[in-house]
Amino acid sequence: MRKSVQDLKVVSNLRLNDDQHILHLQASNQLEYIHPGQFANILVDQSKNVFLRRPFSFYSVDYQNNIVSFLIKGIGEGTRTLLNAGVDSVLDVLFPLGNGFTLPEPEEKVLLVGGGSGVAPLLHLAQVLSKNSNKIHMLVGARSVSDLVEMDNYKRYANLHTTTEDGSHGEKGFVTDHSIFSEGMTEFSRIYTCGPDPMMKAVAAKARVKSVFCEVSLENSMACGFGVCLCCVVQTIHGHKCVCTEGPVFNINQLKWQI
Amino acid sequence: MADLKTKIHNIKLKNPVLTASGTFGYGVEFDDFFDVDLLGGIIVKGTTIFPRQGNAYPRMAETASGMLNAVGLQNGGAPYFASDIYPKLLKYKTNVLVNVSGSTIEEYVACAEIINELDHISGIELNISCPNVKEGGMAFGISCPSAAAVVNAVKKVYQKTMIVKLSPNVTDITEIARAVEGAGADSVSLINTLLGMAINAETRKPVLSTVTGGLSGPSIKPVALRMVWQVSQAVKIPVIGIGGIMNATDAVEFFLAGATAIQVGTASFIDPLASLKILKGIDDYLNRHHFNHINDIIGCLQM
Ligand SMILES: Cc1cc2nc3c(=O)[nH]c(=O)nc-3n(C[C@H](O)[C@H](O)[C@H](O)COP(=O)(O)OP(=O)(O)OC[C@H]3O[C@@H](n4cnc5c(N)ncnc54)[C@H](O)[C@@H]3O)c2cc1C
Ligand SMILES: Cc1cc2nc3c(=O)[nH]c(=O)nc-3n(C[C@H](O)[C@H](O)[C@H](O)COP(=O)(O)O)c2cc1C
Ligand code: FES
């Protein structure tokens, strides 16, 4: 799909907890294909203090109703302003950006590992993989049960596993402490992960030890989102690459990560 | 429709809207959004003779009404540009200019020699004002003798139009402008980014890997406007205005201050269509004020 700047109408703003909402935005034209892992760069014109657009992964795409959704966690002025977006207001959205995850062959068994707002692209991926008759396991980590949102939605597409740091839901500990990594790791042909850098690095380390294919979705800070400012680079085995155009999804073998 | 045609030395511009180097990629990144040929010209990414990896991440910090960058001239080098990128630019009918940079005079010269062979490139913009490289770059642009020396040397090997891009990080920009005019510059463009810095109070660390970086965006417009006004009175060669131009009104202000053309920079990050909208807005302004030609407002500040 060609990149474009579109006015999308807020059709719903669903509050999940104090700092996480799902925004459903409707396009006036037929949506073209958006690949899981791709993202959008949203203008926050309701705030005078936010100058640049803010990038968000597609959380889900509904081609029938031309609705895209984003799972947004409020961490600063840009995201908090978006959490207040009123129904029927219009957002200026630049999309679709970046590449996306490499899809497995049908029937492959895959593991999706998410933490924090990093679960967003994984739901879109799970939606697509479920149509590809993949066996999907999804592991979501959070601090506490109150941070675990949208569990029912994930369960529609995947076998869900959880960890919480305080043990209030699922296994106690960090995602990489989950028993799935000690038990059945090699039954998964691919691991896809998105979340805080330390979490992705820990997942990548597990995958590397067992030589399992692993892709990570990076969240480097960005100015443009479409490959012209060169601000978003990550060090790869082929030198600096832009996360916005050559990522945000990278195979861990491409990255020069110390893991 | 007002007449927007203008000229920078030998380069005929169908309109005075150009894009600032480092903010418009190679133009092709914008093909999805609009017909780049509608612009007066594009100035592609900073090019050096040798490939450069640029600075480490993080390279960007958002600031009040602007941003700091510390890209550090990441590019594949002039030979790579000539072999791999230039062929993709042949499709453009509008002017394509290359922004040339280096760490030594010899590097500037070698880079300009390669670009000189490329027929479809209308001219070069000599970047003697990049604040993000350890050697060269801005160092050439902050003293008159070194600025004149690099311009002189490149002039000997480059036959077409040479624009020299000035740094605002100087005490008196008119002195530098006169020095490069004397050394053979066909035009000056200004301003490059202002040296700045951002600190993360929570982590007590600098935000940029390089600690300092170049400030761009609307926050620098008043400084840019002042410098364009001063320089346009100090030199006879055409002045190209750059700095925080976000809309047509900003652009018109630069024309009034004396700019013959303008460049759209950071605005393209926020709205990829910014340069096109600015072009349309300039035409609207001229029509609204019953001016027939862009020249009718250039340097026409009413005092
Ligand atoms: C490709 C991509 C996809 C993303 N997808 C989602 C998503 O689906 N849902 C979601 O909630 N968020 C997502 N993010 C993150 C989101 O873009 C940021 O949280 C947002 O830009 C922060 O803006 P703000 O104005 O609220 O915070 P700011 O005021 O800009 O920042 C608040 C604090 O967070 C720090 N910070 C902000 N951005 C980054 C960064 N990229 N790296 C390190 N530190 C940072 C700042 O230094 C500051 O201390 C994604 C980011 C990228 C690049
Ligand atoms: C990310 C970024 C990269 C830049 N790279 C270059 C460059 O390679 N060469 C150059 O002469 N100027 C470079 N500049 C400076 C711009 O061309 C322009 O002079 C400056 O940003 C001020 O204009 P603006 O406020 O409209 O952005 C860069 C600016 C930015 C923001
Ligand atoms: S964000 Fe500008 S190049 Fe990636």
Q: Say what the ipTM of the complex is.
A: 0.95
- For residue A184, the model assigns a pLDDT of 65
Residues B282/B248, Cβ–Cβ less than 8 Å: yes
Domains within chain B, CATH numbers bracketed: 6-54+71-195+216-296 (3.20.20.70)
What residue ranges do the domains of chain A occupy? 4-97, 109-254
- Provide φ and ψ at B108, rounded to 5°: -60, -45
> A42: nearest CA in chain B?
B270
A4-97 maps to which CATH number?
2.40.30.10
Are the Cβ atoms of B23 and A240 closer than 8 angstroms? no
Global pTM value: 0.96
Mean pLDDT, residues A101-110 taken together = 94
B261-278 pLDDT per residue, tens: 999 999 999 999 999 999
User: What does pLDDT average to over chain B?
Assistant: 96
The residue whose CA is least distant from atom 18 of ligand 2 is B192
Instruction: State the CB neighbour count (10 A cutoff) for residue A103.
Output: 17
- Cα B168 from chain centroid (whole Å): 12
In CATH, what class is A109-254?
alpha beta
As given in the structure block, the two tokens for residue A19 are 């700092």
Average pLDDT, integer, range A219-229 = 97
Rounded to a whole number, what is the distance in Å from the CA of A223 to chain B's nearest CA?
6
> How far is the C-alpha of B80 from the C-alpha of B11, rounded, in Å?
25
Is the CB of A229 less than 8 angstroms away from the CB of B22?
yes
Shortest Cα distance, chain A CAs vs residue B2, angstroms: 28
Residues in B touching A240 (Cβ below 8 Å): 53-54, 57, 74
- Residue-wise pLDDT tens digits, B194-247: 999 999 999 999 999 999 999 999 999 999 999 999 999 999 999 999 999 999
Spatial neighbors of B28 by CB under 8 A, at least 6 apart, are B88, B89
Q: Which distant-in-sequence residues (6+ apart) come within 8 Å of A111 by Cβ?
A: A137, A138, A139, A180, A188, A190, A191, A192
Annotated active-site residue B144? The verdict is: no
* Digit-coded pLDDT (tens) for A135-184: 999 999 999 998 898 899 999 999 999 999 999 999 999 999 999 988 76
Contacts of residue B273, Cβ cutoff 8 Å, sequence gap at least 6: A5, B33, B34
- Find where tokens 């949203």 sit: A42
Residues sharing a CB contact under 8 Å with residue B5, sequence separation 6 or more, in sequence order:
B12, B13, B14, B15, B293, B294
Going from the C-alpha of B206 to that of each of B60, B172, B281, the distances in angstroms are: 11, 29, 39
- Tell whether B63 is within 8 A of chain A (Cβ): yes
How much of chain B exceeds pLDDT 70, in percent? 98
pLDDT at B134: 64
